[in-house]
Amino acid sequence: MEEIIEILQDLHPDVDFETCDTLIDDKIIDSFDIVTIISEINENFDVVIPAEEIIPENFNSAKALSELVKRLSDE
Amino acid sequence: MKAKFVRKLVVMTACAVMSLTLFTACGDDADSNQGGSSSNGGQSGEKTPAATQGAETPSDGGYTFTYKGTTISMKEDMETVKAALGEPASYFESESCAFQGMDKVFTYGSVVITTYPDGDKDYVYSIELKDDTVETPEKICIGSAKSAVSDAYGAPSSETDTAYVYTKGSCNLTFIFADDAVTGITYVAKTE
Amino acid sequence: MRKKRIISAAVVAVLTVACLYVLQRLVVPKYQRGIVEGSMVEEYYRDESPHEVVFIGDCEVYENFSTIEMWRNYGITSYIRGSAQQLVWQSYYLLEDTLRYETPKVVVFNVLALKYNEPQNEAYNRMSIDGMKWSEAKIDNIKASMTKEESFIDYVFPLLRYHSRWSELTEDDFKHIFSKDLVTHNGYYMRVDTKPQGEFPSPLPLADYTLGEKAMGYLQKMADLCKENGIELVLIKAPTEYPHWYDEWDVQVKAFAEKNGLNYINYIPLQEEIGLDMSKDTYDAGLHLNTQGAEKMADYFGRWLKDNYDLTDYREDEKIAGIWKEKIDFYDEMKEQQFYELNKYGELKSFGANAIEK
Amino acid sequence: MLFTSIEFIAFLALVFLLYYVLPKKCQWPLLLIFSYAFYWIADPRYIIFILVTTVSAYLITLKLAAINTASSEYISAHKELAKEEKKAYKAAMKAKKWRWLLLCLFINIGILAVTKYTNFVIGNINSFLDGESKIKAVDMIIPMGISFYTFQTVGYVIDVYRGKQEVQRNPFKLALFVSFFPQLVQGPISRYGEMSKTLFSEHRFSGKVFSFGMMRILWGYFKKVVIADRLITAVTVLVGDTKLYTGSYVFVAMLFYAFELYCDFTGGIDITIGIGEAMGIRLPENFNLPYFSKNIKEYWNRWHITMGTWFTDYIFYPISVCGPMLKISKWSRKHLGEFIGKRVPVYLSSFAVWFTTGIWHGAAWNFIVWGLMNFVVIMISQELEPLYARFHEKFKVRGRVPYEVFQVIRTVLLMSAIRMFDCYRNVPLTFKMVGTMFTEFNPQIIFDGSLLKLGLGAADYIVLAAGFIIVLGVSLVKLKLVSVREALYERPAILYFGAMALLLVATLLFGAYGVGYDSSQFIYNQF
């Protein structure tokens, strides 16, 4: 979780990722950010997020994102 | 901070170089590109405004006639012809019914050019060669043999007992014969 | 609430249709001055009196025969259903249309239009067809006449065709939304000015002199229709020499007339006999006759009609004569005005090209 | 059949009539029949192409769905499997699915590529050959709207492949999704998941729904016929003579074309969406006031939206997260440093997207360059983002109206300039012409009557000015309100219907249609 927030913070230092859960819906992060996030996660967690998992529900909050990473690394 | 800026510069330069190479790469074969797009555009190509370069020759590959070094093609703006050939030796005009424009006939030596009006301008409708002092670019004149015509032009697009008609582009080129010799040569614009 | 909404919708719909109707009448060209040729076809419906002779054809009928002169000299009641560049099928359908109202004794058709075998020009089509009342003849006429760019719906709703005139509306367009003035004399287009005939360019040799199949087909239909209705069809070639009427065409029309037992007269060689002097009797350098010429022509042709067909001299019929009295007055009045302008300005001001509203 | 042809309007009237008169269960089959009729009228041969796409998508999605079900059944039946085994099984299944998907892509993208790009490729090869050996261009038929329905169908297949979308087992319903006639001409590119919610359901006639649809259709016609078709005359003249019309003329052409394209494209989409609405079918919005964007990235989120999201979902993401890309990313992080490494995936995928976007718009280099120009501008502004942020902070301009207006105008001008590739259709020429805007100083042409020589008269300019004001006004209202129509509907009914009547009369009277105007096709037809 912390690591993910760190990644996010790096992209948008001014956003409170602990609480925000409308990252996609409110267009806080865009497609470029998503790609950067995915490659960072791949780098740091060795988890590949496939294209079909790129849906708003998975990227709307840091929490959802970390759950996604967890689920994918469990599989 | 400074290092970051330098790297940024590198990225941007790379971008610029990349795009520049692309532009120049395709600049070389711009002609073929145009062909590619127009042949593809078939169904709606006419709509999008495409630049037509060299718009001054509307010739669509049809037969043309050359008089005193000036090439005249069908549906050409008569103004450009007049600019090249000067005032005609004789001129005739007739108002068509209900003012739908003026049919005009220009005579230059042994060549008679008629026009049709469209909007404010007059366009070449027909060219007639009156005698053997003028010949087509393919060296046929009044008095040439029928066989010379088919030698020069090949098989006619259509023929009657007394005439060969060759159709190319928007031009019908007609040779009229009497006793196997050409007695009339006319270029007439094809009206759709 | 719902009911109110439906009523509103209905009211708006009715108003919209009414508005579109008025707009349509407004933008349709009125052909009242300058280019009056577009009024010719519809004026026919306004003439209450019967006609024993009906002309059909292009400018070579409506500018070359004075109907009034034929009445004055012979009591012939005639009407010219002419229009600019009227094509053979248009003449045929105008004849069909005429037969819905009356059956003349003689129909006169000018053959120059036989040279056209295809629809030619949208503007002429509109002038020949728009004035017709709706009937099967009109529908068939439209179908036969449309150029490739035209569509049928434009004839049904002329607004679709003329809407772009909104920016060039003239005083006449507003004045004549619902009523129009007469511009012809039983179809005759009057011009009293003179422009002598000059030299015509020599005709272009043609590859093929055969008159077109469609044109000749409609001529045949015309002949058949006349036969069916007991009408004498007369084919004429007006005495004017330009556009050129080729001998090869003349031969074909002669053959057609012979085959169908019709009279065909080519008046070009008869200029002298008619008394035409083309240095005086034409207003546009020999293409069409002026009124002086058209009266000579009417006199000559009227006499021939009288001699060859069983026509009534209606001058003795009081009711008809009364109607024609008005026509004569209108004719003389216009003639006077034209001469007045001619003398004053050296050219016509409120007729012809000078009168076209800009 | 053009949207602006009388035939289409008659066709539409018949569809609407039957749609609401026949029993409701006939509604979607009716649409299918009419969609195929629409295609048949355009060219019967087109039907073969759309059938191949439909049948291949149908069969392959069934297969994909079968594999999906089988594998989830297998996994729930074999709970005892070790994690590694499960993973292996899943991978095997995925590979199997991948092969089917590839087949589908091969068939459908293949048709698209062959019909649209053969001559482009030939042209390019020819530029390396000399006269004698040049290859002849092929006379190819390009089925109407092939890019749109192919993309739409492929999107559906990929969704099924990803397990995100239930498969449609009724081939006729799928056929309707592929061929739904209003969007064949120029999109929007619908998603099956969204569209299927309303496409196949039964719809009762509702005066409100129907009149909303009609109003949107009328609005579309107004923009298209009164504004776009009138402006195109001047644009064609302006780009037609590149010797005469330089300098400020290019600027005028640029603005005219921007307005023309906007009215043409949004007008067409309004007609399409309106047709759907009138029948209770929801189609995706394709525009969200694009000319109010503050930067190019935002512009592309608001212009041709369905195309943008399609490219993002099915090209941008897949490319940026695919194995090789992640490897490249890792490699470049190691060798080129964090800064560049981080950017590599974004840059490469964006490049791919814009290259494809360019070529999708037309098989010619000018379109490719146009696409890549967008790429370059977006990337530059992306990189300058921190700079902007500092600027905004320092001068406290963010959120201020004059500054936002400046941003909007800047974006519109930039986009319009890039779009000139589309006008001149020749890359070096476009650079030259746009260059003359800066090298040649002739702004007097705007006032000295030169603009009246472009095929448009004073009356036309008055109509255009009025049209511009109306379009701008409606847009400004839209900025504040969710729905202009809803607001009108709340007013007295006479006003609501009166607005419709006005649109109709204005379109009929002032429309640039019929004799004297070239009946023009929607610019986006060819894509």
Express each pLDDT in D290-300 by its tens digit. 999 988 888 98
Interchain proximity B100–C205, CB inside 8 Å: no
Q: Look at residues D58, D26, D48 and name the one whose alpha carbon lies nearest to residue D156.
A: D58
Among B46-50, B64-68, C168-172, the minimum mean pLDDT is found in: B46-50
Asked if D435 is an interface residue toward chain B (Cβ–Cβ < 8 A), one would say no
Question: Residue B69: exposed, middle, or buried by beta-carbon count in 10 A (0-12, 13-18, 19+)?
Answer: exposed
| B43 chain-D contacts, CB cut-off 8 A | 142, 144, 521, 525-526
Interchain proximity B99–C242, CB inside 8 Å: no
Q: Look at residues D65, D63, D64, D89 and name the one whose alpha carbon lies nearest to residue D76.
A: D89
Among B16-30, B147-161, D473-487, the minimum mean pLDDT is found in: B16-30
Is D358 within 8 Å of D369 (Cβ atoms)? yes
- Work out the end-to-end distance of chain D between its first and last CA atoms, rounded to an integer number of angstroms: 16
Q: To the nearest whole angstrom, how far is the Cα of D498 from the nearest Cα of chain C?
A: 6
Nearest to D501 among C12, C149, C163 (CB): C12
Position of tokens 């847009």? Answer: D475
Mean pLDDT on C181-193? 94
The chains in contact with chain B, meaning 3 or more Cβ pairs closer than 8 Å, are: C, D
pTM (2 d.p.):
0.85
Instruction: Report residue D448's pLDDT band, with 50, 70 and 90 as the boundaries.
Output: confident
Position of tokens 């490494």? Answer: D341
Interchain proximity C59–B176, CB inside 8 Å: no
Nearest to C16 among D501, D510, D513 (CB): D501
Residue D378, pLDDT above cutoff 60: yes
Q: How far is the C-alpha of C164 from the C-alpha of D226, rounded, in Å?
A: 11
Residue B1, pLDDT above cutoff 70: no
Mean pLDDT on D488-493? 88
**Helices C88-99 and C136-145 sit at what angle, rounded to 10 degrees?**
180
Interchain proximity C6–D207, CB inside 8 Å: yes
Backbone angles phi, psi at D217, to 5 degrees: -60, -45
Residue D373, pLDDT above cutoff 60: yes
Q: How far is the C-alpha of B185 from the C-alpha of B183, rounded, in Å?
A: 7
Express each pLDDT in A42-73 by its tens digit. 888 888 888 888 888 888 888 888 888 888 88
Q: What is the pLDDT of residue D128?
A: 81
Helix and strand tally (H, E) in chain A? 4, 0
Q: What is the pLDDT of residue C168?
A: 86
| D162 chain-A contacts, CB cut-off 8 A | 51-52
Interchain proximity C205–B128, CB inside 8 Å: yes
Q: Going by beta carbons, is chain B in contact with chain A, meaning 3 or more pairs sit under 8 Å apart?
A: no
Residue D100, pLDDT above cutoff 80: yes
Asked if C58 is an interface residue toward chain B (Cβ–Cβ < 8 A), one would say yes
Q: What is the pLDDT of residue D516?
A: 59
Strand C78-82 with B163-168, pairing: unpaired
Indicate the average pLDDT of chain C: 93
Q: To the nearest whole angstrom, how far is the Cα of D321 from the nearest Cα of chain C?
A: 54
Q: To the nearest whole angstrom, how far is the Cα of B28 from the nearest Cα of chain C?
A: 40
Interchain proximity C124–B98, CB inside 8 Å: yes
Asked if C16 is an interface residue toward chain D (Cβ–Cβ < 8 A), one would say yes
| B11 chain-D contacts, CB cut-off 8 A | 340, 343, 383
Interchain proximity B165–C207, CB inside 8 Å: yes
Q: How far is the C-alpha of C23 from the C-alpha of C309, rounded, in Å?
A: 48
Residue D527, pLDDT above cutoff 70: no
Task: Specify the CATH architecture of the domain A2-74.
Answer: Orthogonal Bundle (1.10)
Asked if C22 is an interface residue toward chain D (Cβ–Cβ < 8 A), one would say no
Interchain proximity D501–C23, CB inside 8 Å: no
Interchain proximity B7–D240, CB inside 8 Å: no
Question: Residue D130: exposed, middle, or buried by beta-carbon count in 10 A (0-12, 13-18, 19+)?
Answer: exposed
Interchain proximity B94–C287, CB inside 8 Å: yes
Residue D431, pLDDT above cutoff 60: yes
Express each pLDDT in B134-144 by its tens digit. 888 888 888 88
Mean pLDDT on D400-404? 85
| D515 chain-C contacts, CB cut-off 8 A | 122, 149-150, 154, 161, 164
Nearest to A38 among D162, D321, D333 (CB): D321
Q: How far is CA B54 from CA B47, B71, B96, B102, D196, in A?
A: 19, 15, 33, 29, 51
For the domain with range B64-189, which CATH number is right: 1.10.287.110, 3.40.33.10, 3.30.9.10, 1.25.40.10?
3.40.33.10
Interchain proximity B48–D238, CB inside 8 Å: no
Q: How far is the C-alpha of A35 from the C-alpha of A43, rounded, in Å?
A: 12
Question: Residue D264: exposed, middle, or buried by beta-carbon count in 10 A (0-12, 13-18, 19+)?
Answer: buried
Nearest to C167 among D459, D501, D515 (CB): D459
Residue A50, helix vs strand vs coil: coil
Instruction: Report residue D57's pLDDT band, with 50, 70 and 90 as the boundaries.
Output: very high
Domain C2-199+208-355 has CATH 3.20.20.70: no
Residues of D near C (Cβ–Cβ under 8 Å) read 6, 207, 211, 457, 459-460, 492-494, 496-498, 500-501, 504-505, 508-517
Residue B22, pLDDT above cutoff 70: no
Asked if B100 is an interface residue toward chain D (Cβ–Cβ < 8 A), one would say no
Q: How far is the C-alpha of D438 from the C-alpha of D460, rounded, in Å?
A: 28
Q: How far is CA D522 from CA C342, D142, D232, D300, in A?
A: 54, 16, 11, 20
Interchain proximity D514–C8, CB inside 8 Å: no
Q: To the nearest whole angstrom, how far is the Cα of D221 from the nearest Cα of chain C?
A: 15
Instruction: Give the other-Cβ count within 10 Å of D345's Cβ.
Output: 25
Q: What is the pLDDT of residue B27?
A: 34
Asked if D369 is an interface residue toward chain B (Cβ–Cβ < 8 A), one would say yes
Residue D203, pLDDT above cutoff 60: yes
D475 contact partners, CB below 8 Å, separation of at least 6: D289, D291, D292
Window 324-353 of D, Cβ < 8 Å to A: 326, 329-330, 333, 342, 345-346, 349-350
Indicate the average pLDDT of chain D: 88
Among C18-22, C222-226, D169-173, D180-184, the minimum mean pLDDT is found in: D180-184
Task: Locate the domains of chain A by residue range.
Answer: 2-74
Express each pLDDT in D301-338 by its tens digit. 899 999 999 999 999 988 888 888 888 888 888 888 87
Instruction: Report residue D394's pLDDT band, with 50, 70 and 90 as the boundaries.
Output: confident
Instruction: Give the other-Cβ count within 10 Å of D76's Cβ.
Output: 8
Residue D520, helix vs strand vs coil: coil
Mutation site, D97, D313, D315, D321, interface A, largest A CB count within 10 A: D321
| C151 chain-D contacts, CB cut-off 8 A | 6
Amino acid at C29: P
Nearest to B98 among C127, C199, C201 (CB): C127
Mean pLDDT on C277-292? 93
Q: How far is CA C237 from CA C110, C247, C293, in A?
A: 5, 12, 15
Residue B54, pLDDT above cutoff 50: no
Interchain proximity D364–B34, CB inside 8 Å: yes
